[in-house]
Amino acid sequence: MHTEHLVERNPRVSGHELLDGFRPSERFGEVSFDTYRPDPSQPSQAEAVEKLKAFAAGVGGGQSSGNGFFSKLFGGGGGQKGTSAQGIYLDGGFGVGKTHLLASLWHAVPGPKAFGTFVEYTNLVGALTFRHTVEALKDYKLVCIDEFELDDPGDTVLMSRLMRELADAGVKLAATSNTLPGSLGEGRFAAQDFQREIQVLSSQFDVVRIDGEDYRHRGLPEAPQPLADDAALEAAAEQAFSGKTVAIDDFDALVEHLSRVHPSRYRALIEGLDAIVWRGVRTIDQQAVALRFVVLADRLYDKDLPILSTGVPFDQVFTEEMMAGGYQKKYYRAVSRLTALAREGGEAA
């Protein structure tokens, strides 16, 4: 077993390298509509597949030459009334396969196209500037936005402007979220003060509801408890990850290190690893730290990196107040994904 430490990594990623990475992660690198397994007891899942296939067939129909959806919305252009929305929006709970379906849509249509999480697009704007991001994406046929969230007013206005310009350029948009578009921002900031921007985001999507239970835990036993001590952790890691590259870190040092690495670089931070080992996982009690950790959890899940740990179980890594607050859906998603990775680590050990 070759060991490394995330706290010793400080990757540098250019804006163009970020753009090149806007494609489904390894976990969803070869999925398709045919590999999605709808739950027979949830007819909305099979219906979502058919709606997405129909949407895919309409992608790549050419530029709108200024008569796009947003031009009509704001009174510009000469298009006819009743034009269908420029995008499709998958709404549902955790683990119903929304990302699988979004990645399947991406694979099903011709390029150029982009696939990334909401936070990756905001990070791209920060790296390239808004105007260069628009220029980079405006000739794409499809832009997929996974885990759509509006966490602050700045993101609301930013994504409203970005999607307005992309849609007016004829780009088709597809998104997933655990929140209906009209409810984005609730509980995080004074959403009523930004109702126009939120309404712009909401109106452009045809909403497809997907019901069901979290497939990551469907019919499976509870996640394994963390190991008892460091000696047990080292023995389990040697057994489970022999011949692999593993990052071993103290949890406190790791979360402190995340404050010095921009979230846009978390994908590069874990590049080349096969597994994760954390000593002394504890409950995070600061919101800013917790939100950074959520991004890391998402990237670990993207790469399907099994986790072994000591300390508290992952359903206790966020405080009760956080799990009940405005960002609760982010935290529940992270707990679901970390639990799945801990289960993989436990099975390997």
**Measuring CA to CA, which residue among 5, 253, 171, 153 is closest to residue 162?**
171
Do residue 225 and residue 318 come from a single domain? yes
12 pLDDT exceeds 60? Answer: yes
In a domain, 21, yes or no: no
pLDDT over 70 percentage in the chain: 80
CA separation for the pair 291, 230 (Å, rounded): 27
95-123 mean pLDDT:
90
Do residue 327 and residue 197 come from a single domain? no
pLDDT at 76: 35
Do residue 147 and residue 234 come from a single domain? no
Strands (E), the chain: 2-4, 87-92, 113-117, 142-146, 172-177, 205-210, 245-250, 275-281, 307-311
Do residue 40 and residue 156 come from a single domain? yes
Do residue 166 and residue 305 come from a single domain? no
pLDDT at 303: 92
**Measuring CA to CA, which residue among 162, 151, 164 is closest to residue 191?**
151
Do residue 185 and residue 234 come from a single domain? no
Domain end (from 213, 244, 272): 213
List the beta bridge partners of residue 209.
91
**Measuring CA to CA, which residue among 338, 241, 252, 347 is closest to residue 295?**
338
Tens digit of each residue's pLDDT (9 = 90 or more) over 29-69? 999 999 999 989 999 999 999 999 999 998 865 333 333 33
pLDDT at 215: 63
**How would you write 43-80 as a 3-class SS string?**
HHHHHHHHHHHHHHHCCCCCCCCCCCHHHHHCCCCCCC
Q: Tell me the whole-structure pTM to 2 decimals.
A: 0.75
**Measuring CA to CA, which residue among 296, 298, 304 is closest to residue 266?**
296
Do residue 6 and residue 54 come from a single domain? no
CA separation for the pair 174, 172 (Å, rounded): 7
Contact between residue 279 and residue 311 where contact means Cβ atoms under 8 Å apart = yes
In a domain, 74, yes or no: yes
DSSP 325: S
Contact between residue 214 and residue 94 where contact means Cβ atoms under 8 Å apart = yes
pLDDT at 223: 65
Domain end (from 152, 178, 213): 213
CA separation for the pair 242, 27 (Å, rounded): 22
CA separation for the pair 289, 14 (Å, rounded): 24
Helix (H, G, I), strand (E, B) or coil at 88: strand
Tens digit of each residue's pLDDT (9 = 90 or more) over 207-249? 888 888 766 655 555 667 899 899 999 999 999 999 999 999 9
Do residue 39 and residue 166 come from a single domain? yes
Number of domains in the chain: 2
Tens digit of each residue's pLDDT (9 = 90 or more) over 274-318? 999 999 999 999 999 999 999 999 999 989 999 999 999 999 999
CA separation for the pair 30, 24 (Å, rounded): 9
Report residue 180's pLDDT band, with 50, 70 and 90 as the boundaries: very low
In a domain, 71, yes or no: yes
Do residue 171 and residue 241 come from a single domain? no
Q: Which of 48-57, 100-109, 118-127 has the lowest mean pLDDT?
A: 118-127
Tens digit of each residue's pLDDT (9 = 90 or more) over 50-60? 999 999 998 86
165-188 mean pLDDT:
70
Structure-model confidence comparison of residues 234 and 349, the more confident one = 234
- Which residue carries 């060991």 as its tokens? 3
191 pLDDT exceeds 60? Answer: no
Burial class of residue 20 (count of CB atoms within 10 Å of its CB; 0-12, 13-18, 19+): exposed
pLDDT over 90 percentage in the chain: 50
145 pLDDT exceeds 50? Answer: yes
CA separation for the pair 252, 272 (Å, rounded): 23
Do residue 310 and residue 276 come from a single domain? yes
DSSP 20: H
Q: Which domain holds residue 281?
A: 2-10+216-348
CA separation for the pair 70, 76 (Å, rounded): 8
Average pLDDT for the chain: 82
Structure-model confidence comparison of residues 264 and 62, the more confident one = 264
Helix (H, G, I), strand (E, B) or coil at 314: helix
pLDDT at 102: 96
In a domain, 294, yes or no: yes
198 pLDDT exceeds 80? Answer: no
In a domain, 20, yes or no: no
